[in-house]
Amino acid sequence: MKYFVISDIHGSKYYLEKALKEFSNHTYDNLLILGDILYHGPRNALPKDYDTTYVMQELNKRKDKIIAIRGNCDAEVDQMVLEFKITDTYRLLNDDKILMTHGHVYGPNDHPIVKKGSCILSGHTHIPTCDEKNGCYYLNPGSISIPKGGYPNSYGVLTDTDFTVYNLETNEVIMQTKI
């Protein structure tokens, strides 16, 4: 398995274009989106090239490759324009070995029960993370559009053996962990 993992797009045409270009340059099983797709929310500034219509259209073109969950800035009305499901607060993949969540409802200390050795993918903080705790891996790709904590805009790649976070602008490795 090989997944391209992004979170916290927040309606940015500019950064989604960069992420989709990288997604298209390699072969991935799926594009995993960890929420906050179209809107920026009341605490974030508008991201570069804010264009929710463009983001919706480009993602809908790839609907057959997308697995997504709802973030705190995603609304039920967003499901009316997005052609892939975003209403779940979490999803389990790969025989329940991967838990996708945005991070605002479920996080490292409060999540549905997962098996030891599972990966818990979340966004929400906009800060990339590769942590192991209680036999599970807590992985966050950061934000493609509004990074925080001094980190650059970033995305992740999850394979059977590791999780790597890359700088979206340079494709340099920011952090990596074996799983």
Map out the domains of the chain with their CATH numbers: 2-178 (3.60.21.10)
- Asked whether the predicted pLDDT for residue 115 surpasses 90, the reply is no
Least confident window among 7-11, 24-28, 50-54, 109-113: 109-113
Expressed in percent and rounded to 5, the helix, strand and coil fractions of the chain are 15, 30, 55
Quickly state the pLDDT bin for 110 (edges 50, 70, 90).
confident
Phi and psi angles of residue 21, each rounded to the nearest 5 degrees, phi first? -65, -45
Model confidence pLDDT, tens digit, residues 116-146? 889 999 999 999 999 998 889 999 999 999 9
| Residue 68 CB coordination number (10 Å) | 26
Structure tokens at 27: 């072969």
Q: Is the model more confident about 4 or about 116?
A: 4
| Mean pLDDT calculated for residue range 20-29 | 96
- Asked whether the predicted pLDDT for residue 113 surpasses 80, the reply is no
| Mean pLDDT calculated for residue range 4-8 | 98
Give, in degrees to the nearest 5, the angle at Cα 98 between 94 and 102: 135
Model confidence pLDDT, tens digit, residues 37-75? 999 877 778 888 999 999 999 999 999 999 999 999 999
- Asked whether the predicted pLDDT for residue 112 surpasses 80, the reply is no
Quickly state the pLDDT bin for 114 (edges 50, 70, 90).
confident
Locus of tokens 């209403």: 87
Q: Across all residues in the chain, what is the average pLDDT?
A: 94
Please tell me whether the overall predicted TM-score, pTM, comes out greater than 0.85 for this model.
yes
The pLDDT value given to residue 130: 96
